[in-house]
Amino acid sequence: MLNLTEEALHLQCRALNKTEAITLAAEALEAAGYVKPGFLAGMLARERSVSTYIGAGIAFPHCAKENLDLVIKTGFQVFQFPDGVSWGAGKVVFVMIAVAATENEHISVLANIADLLGDEVKTTLLANAKTKHDFIEQFEKV
């Protein structure tokens, strides 16, 4: 189970496109001490090879395997985009969970997120949450 804290949650975010959204994510991961400078390039490389859109209005950007050396420690940051961000191919993201993970830890984080956020109704509720408390409460509902 992921432990989402208010410090790791960013509400009312805006981005013109997925590159801008991923840039926000990389900056937040670096500011939180999870990654070294240059992690953004690894995240963008990963996105170019395979989209990190996982369905139901959710994206899960993380770095390419070649950039794992830029991860200091495993962690994540969550972003709410109430107006959505185009992720290409008609996909729109309302909740983005950016992950920095050593080795294959991102797989267990992704599994937790998939369990938590498996439906569009929940994504809609998260996208419309007005406070961090409300978002976290909805995020943690089973």
Q: Which residues are catalytic?
A: 62
> Given its phi and psi angles, is residue 38 left (phi above 0), alpha (psi -120 to 50 degrees) or beta?
left
Assign 117 to helix, strand or coil. Answer: coil
Q: Is 141 exposed, middle or buried (0-12, 13-18, 19+ CB in 10 A)?
A: exposed
The DSSP H or E segment spanning 87 is strand 75-88
